[in-house]
Amino acid sequence: MASICVCARWRPATSKEDGEPLCISRSDSQSFTLEDDKDEKYMFSFDKVFYEDSEQADVYEFLARPIVRDALKAINGTIITYGQTGAGKTYTMEGANILETDSNKKGLLPRVVDELFEAIKLCGETSAYKIKLSMVEIYMERVRDLFDLSKDNIQIKEHKGHGILLCGVTEILISDGEEALKFLSSGIANRAVGETQMNMASSRSHCIYIFTVQKEVANEKSVGTGKLVLVDLAGSEKVEKTGAEGRVLEEAKTINKSLSALGNVINALTSSQQGKANHIPFRDSKLTRILQDALGGSSQTALLCCCSPCRGNFSESLSTLRFGARAKHIKASSRVGCKDEMYDKKQEIPLSENDVKLKLAD
Ligand code: ADP
Ligand code: MG
């Protein structure tokens, strides 16, 4: 993996949460402290933190735009939203609604579509781009085609020249932005939705949007293809908290398993980047298998950890942020009185006499 950009986003408190104590205290645009109700503090640093007053456009500019630009240059990229149900994953990905016209509420997907077709327009006649769209969801470890529900168990195969293939998946050739939004909207309407005791209509599946961007250069036989994959993951909440039983419990267990597999793949990729050649367990889940091309090689990846700002969701937020911190593998310095989540004990450098004095003076 060429690079992974890990960011956190705090959504505003909803009207139901009004007046509830919050668990976050801002430091700057990259760091904050998470506090539980016993005043335990956990400091986190990411590439960027989007606080509750952040705009949808800010998130797009920082996290998605460079990846979309690279897809036009035939570099694969992945954008993933992670977090518990209700944390703001879908709001970030789709916006208040996929067809939302209010620019403050427009999500990443419609902005990706705008950028892709804007670039095609600017490109003129010498080069021709072809944009294809597929949409699948992974529900109970089965891959369903959201453009054709009769294909409810798509097989994943690896092809020597073409990489990971979703056998028989519907690929729609898109000619403009309006058409793209129409198809996205119909795919979203086909998602499996379930109700949990967290009192929200929550998607119990991972939703994967795949844009294949092909560039044919006139008078040259070469074709460059960039795969741009956006993933709206299923809620990462712990099973006990949702009060799940029966089928819902099975769903939650399957979700947890695939999210752990994703974490393991990201960890293995980041450690092999640090010079340790190791096995990358892409085959452990359908999610990681589908993302194999997009995450491996020279691709760009962005992970957005979405969190609720309320103390009632403290433990879920802590677990979401720990997932992000592990993905980032950043070693920040330890601060006195603060549990530093990026602090890696193995990398500890012995304190000099001066450091000790500084610490005591704090
Ligand atoms: P998730 O997909 O993580 O389950 P949603 O994206 O559906 O969560 O968000 C839950 C609720 O919070 C929705 O009503 C959504 O409109 C609202 N919401 C989430 N993020 C924001 C935000 N940044 N600004 C305003 N409302 C938000
Ligand atoms: Mg959602």
Predicted pLDDT at 270: 74
CA 92 to ligand 2 centroid distance, Å: 9
Average pLDDT taken over every residue of the chain: 83
Distance 221 CA to ligand 2 centre (A): 42
Residue 353 is predicted with a pLDDT of: 33
| Residue 204: per-residue pLDDT | 85
| Dist CA 76 CA 300 (whole Å) | 7
ipTM for the predicted complex: 0.99
SS3 of 255, please?
helix
DSSP 17: G
Read off the tokens for 216.
């044919």
Q: What is the β-pairing status of strands 3-10 and 300-307?
A: parallel
Q: Determine the 3-state secondary structure of 153 from DSSP.
A: coil
Short-list 234, 134, 229, CA closest to 183: 134
- For residues 316 and 34, the answer to whether their CB atoms sit within 8 Å is no
Strand 77-82 to strand 127-139: parallel, antiparallel, or no bridges (unpaired)?
Answer: unpaired
Is 89 known to sit in a ligand binding site?
A: yes
Q: What is the CA radius of gyration of the chain?
A: 21
In the predicted model, is pLDDT for residue 199 greater than 60? Answer: no
Q: Which residues, 6 or more positions from 33, have their beta carbon under 8 angstroms from its beta carbon?
A: 24, 25, 27, 41, 42, 43, 44, 338
Residue spans of beta strands (DSSP E) within the chain: 3-10, 24-26, 31-35, 41-45, 48-50, 77-82, 127-139, 142-145, 156-159, 163-166, 172-174, 193-196, 200-203, 206-217, 223-232, 300-307, 339-340
Residues in Cβ contact with 89 at an 8 Å cutoff, skipping those fewer than 6 apart: 81, 82, 83, 232, 233, 304, 306
Instruction: Output the pLDDT for position 126.
Output: 58
Question: Which of 54, 91, 198 to probe ligand 1 with, by most ligand atoms within 8 A of CB?
Answer: 91
Closest to 81 (Cα-Cα) out of 70, 98, 93: 93
Q: Decide: 12 in ligand 1 pocket, CB within 6 A.
A: yes
Query: 93 to each of 14, 106, 288, 325, how far by Cα in Å?
Result: 18, 9, 19, 21
- Please indicate whether residue 267 or residue 143 has the higher confidence score (pLDDT): 143
Q: For the residues 213-221, what does the mean pLDDT come to?
A: 76
Q: How far is the CA of 49 from the centre of ligand 2 (A)?
A: 20
Closest ligand 1 atom to 81 CA: 3
pLDDT computed for residue 350 by the predictor: 32
Q: Under DSSP, is residue 207 helix (H, G, I), strand (E, B) or coil?
A: strand
Q: Give the tens place of pLDDT for each residue, 68-80.
A: 999 998 888 999 9
Distance 353 CA to ligand 1 centre (A): 49
* Least confident range of 60-74, 274-288, 329-343: 329-343
C-alpha distances (whole Å) from 314 to each of 212, 215, 262 are: 38, 46, 22
Cβ of 199 below 6 Å from ligand 1: no
Q: From the alpha carbon of 94, which atom of ligand 1 is closest?
A: 6
Q: What pLDDT, in 10s, does the model give residues 5-64?
A: 999 999 999 988 888 999 999 999 999 999 998 889 999 999 999 999 999 999 999 999
85 lines ligand 1 (CB under 6 A): yes
83: Cβ below 6 Å to ligand 1?
Answer: yes
At 193 the pLDDT is: 60
Check if 11 has its Cβ closer than 6 Å to any atom of ligand 1.
Answer: yes
pLDDT band at 207 (very low <50, low <70, confident <90, very high): very high
Check whether 235 is labelled as a binding-site residue. Answer: no
Percent of the residues in the chain that have a pLDDT greater than 90, as a whole number = 58
Q: Which residues pair with 164 in a beta bridge?
A: 158
Asked if pLDDT for residue 188 goes beyond 50, the answer is: yes
Closest ligand, as measured to the CA of 307: 1
Asked whether 120 and 135 are in contact (CB, 8 A), the reply is no
- Tell me which of 11, 49, 54 to substitute to probe ligand 1's pocket, judged by most ligand atoms within 8 Å of the beta carbon: 11
Please tell me whether 182 is known to bind a ligand: no
Ligand 1 closest atom vs CA 85: 4
79-106 pLDDT, tens per residue?
999 999 999 999 999 999 999 989 999 9
In three-state secondary structure terms, 358 is: helix
Nearest CA to ligand 1 atom 17: 88
How confident is residue 251, by pLDDT bands cut at 50, 70 and 90? Answer: confident
d(CA 319, CA 326): 11
Residue 110 has pLDDT above 70, yes or no: yes
Please give the share of the chain, as a percent, with pLDDT higher than 70: 80
Looking at residue 282, the DSSP 8-state letter turns out to be: G
CA distance 340 to 253: 29
Which atom of ligand 1 lies closest to the CA of 54? Answer: 23
CA atoms within 13 A on the CB side of 136: 29
Which residue has 């996205």 as its token pair? Answer: 184
Bridge-based pairing state of the strands 127-139 and 24-26: unpaired
Is the CB of 21 within 6 Å of ligand 1? no
pLDDT for 97 equals: 92
Q: What are the start-end ranges of the H helices in 40-162?
A: 56-59, 65-71, 89-94, 108-123
- Residue 241 pLDDT level (bands cut at 50, 70, 90): low
Q: 70 phi and psi, to 5 degrees?
A: -70, -35
Neighbours of 165 (CB within 10 A): 14
pTM score, whole prediction? 0.88
d(CA 315, CA 136): 30
Instruction: Give the pLDDT of residue 340.
Output: 39
Nearest CA to ligand 1 atom 11: 86
- Rounded to whole angstroms, how far apart are CA atoms 344 and 270? 15
- The answer to whether the CB of 89 is under 6 A from ligand 1 is yes
pLDDT at 176 over 80: yes
Residue 210 pLDDT greater than 80, yes or no: yes
87 known ligand binder: yes
Top mean-pLDDT range of 7-11, 201-205, 245-249:
7-11
284-296 pLDDT, tens digit per residue, is 999 999 998 878 7
Predicted confidence band of residue 355 (pLDDT cuts 50, 70, 90)? very low
pLDDT band at 354 (very low <50, low <70, confident <90, very high): very low
Q: Which ligand is nearest to the CA of 89?
A: 1
The answer to whether the annotation marks 84 as part of a ligand binding site is: yes
Q: What confidence score (pLDDT) does residue 163 get?
A: 82
Mean of the pLDDT values across residues 159-172? 90
- pLDDT for 338 equals 35
